[in-house]
Chain A
Amino acid sequence: MYEKDGEKYFVVDSHMHYWSAGPDNWVPGAEKYAKGWIECFHAYQSLAPESTHWPIEKFMSYTEDDLMKDVFTDGYVDVAVFQPTYLTEWYREGFNTTERNAALGAKHPGKFIANTRWDPRDGDDGLKRLAENVDRYGSIGVKLYTAEWNNGSRGWTLKDPGAYRYLEKCQELGIKNIHVHKGPTIWPLDKDAFDVSDVDHAATDFPELNFIVEHVGLPRIEDFCFMATQEPNVYAGLSVVIGGLMHARPRFFAKVMGELLFWVGEDKMTFGSDYGIWEPKWQIEGFVDWDYPGDEFSDYPRVTTATKKKILGLNAARLYGIEVPAELRLPDEEPASRDASVGVSSASPAASLGG
């Protein structure tokens, strides 16, 4: 919980990691990819305030104590959602697996939600593993990487029949939230990994699932926005947006936020720190203090305290069924309800334009 000027903010960090990326975890023969990957992540950290930069050694192998301090003790987060990233072709025990996340979560009851993952190219075995993970870790969300390598394939789309089998399985298993990585990517040859049109199809065909597009389709925010404004169950995951732009490029940050508030709306935007890339503390403090820097932004939707409360925690709490203490809710807000988590797109001012 973060408190400022008498206002209290319930904070859900809906996109964060606990990775292991040091040389001891690199796959022999794939060292250059493992090293290149973590160095690329580290470069993103340079977009944060300098006092929060870490040396590469810590960045590769931050500890459990680092995470608990940065996210909860110093970082105001009430509940954090682990998003796994496997990358087992480069990292021996995976970069950031469901198992690794859940093991940490088990030590701190109530602090974490452990999402899992799937990949349609894993076929029947993958469906079985998904069911096991849901059973073992209580996952109600998944993180998907459509651009990931798998047995000679260089990517997939949510439109694939194989992916539909998994989405059906998700519904059957009680999974509600599909986080899709559409942003800076791993191996995007000419299979256009930034393309968000596959989310459009899946969101239409699976109206009971929520699709949270992480990194808002960067570098193609416009494609994401045109799609999200038409789909009530598509959300904007703000990881990278706040961390990558708010400090480094405040004017562009203001424009991107203005566009997202216009096209997607404040009820469908969720904060994610992307820890360990960026610490949540400065992002939350900065975002609560933030407003448009000047008159030229006057035709974007206004940003209120309620807007910030929704984005920092209340929206994600609704998606994950997290109970929010009464004094931290908005005055007219109902207690967390699963049914309320979809079909809120009328809040987008863009709805009046007729898409």
Chain B
Amino acid sequence: MTTAVTGSRILAALAEVRDPELDEPITVLGFVASASVVDGVAEVHLRLPTYFCAPNFAYLMVADAYDQVSALDEVVAAKIILDDHFAAEAINEGVAARAGFVGSFGDEAVDELDHLRGDFLRKSVMAGTDVVCRPLVAAGATPADLATVVLGGVPHSPALARLRRRRRELGLPAGDGAPLLIDPATGEAVGVDGVPLHLRKARLTRTSLDANTSICRGMLRHRYPASSEET
């Protein structure tokens, strides 16, 4: 396999890693500083918008990058290195040793991060609900329509596919017969009376996520001015 092909495969693998908070691939966010494979050894450098970006999220991204890159056939060993971060040493060593977040931070970390990831997946479901519902509402769908529509009854779109993937990751109903509007904590369908508030919450969650992403991008550009957003 040529180096160029390996390079694109490693980037494709890294594109599967998302910032759990922003719900975007780290490749799109510009968090991958470099990625290479030499003689079966992959070396990936990651960078974040600030020195103090939340270490729990940083840990998740480094660990997920490790898993994705290690899974490539041509990779025998993977080194994932977070650069320029106050907790870089603990995170890099912890991930390399497969220590888990508690193992990496000792007393400073009370629990593993799965529940945190779940919280943010639920936020992604809410934000994704706004993306999918907005055109339906613009086309005249009423709360009663939205309370009864199922996923299979919504026109195909990348936004719908993404919403279904996120629901599947959470173990929430994602098949054609599942209701479009559900409570992401319980999986229960939203009743017609609850639709206006549910849509308001969905829109707010998307706004919050987008605003946060835009601040992170602005900070990254300041920190690494020569970089483009797309890696």
Contacts and interface: CB of A to CB of B under 8 A. Distances in A.
B222 A46 contact: yes
Contact of A249 (B101, B108, B218): B218
B28 interface: no
Interface of B: 21, 49-52, 54-56, 86, 101, 105, 107-113, 116, 123, 126, 196-197, 200-201, 203-205, 207-212, 214-215, 218-219, 221-223
Interface stretch (A31-39, A206-214, A328-336): A31-39
B217 to A, nearest CB: 9
A186 B221 CA distance: 21
Q: Summarize A's interface: helix, strand, loop or mixed.
A: helix
A225 interface: yes
Given A185-B52, A225-B204, A248-B214, 9 more contacts: A36-B51, A40-B52, A185-B54, A186-B52, A219-B209, A222-B205, A256-B207, A256-B211, A350-B200
B194 to A, nearest CB: 10
Interface of A: 32-33, 36-37, 39-40, 43-44, 46-47, 152, 154, 185-192, 218-222, 225-226, 244-245, 248-249, 252-253, 255-256, 259, 262-263, 350, 353-354
Contact of B215 (A245, A262, A263): A245
A245 B211 CA distance: 8
A17 B195 CA distance: 43
B211 A221 contact: yes
A252 to B, nearest CB: 5
Given A221-B204, A222-B123, A189 B105 contact: yes
A189 B90 CA distance: 12
A354 B195 CA distance: 12
A192 B222 CA distance: 27
Which one of A222, A248, A252 has the highest number of Cβ atoms from chain B below 10 Å of its Cβ? A222
Nearest to B219: A43
A330 B221 CA distance: 42
B211 A191 contact: no
B224 to A, nearest CB: 11
Given A190-B116, A245-B214, A353-B197, A36 B207 contact: no
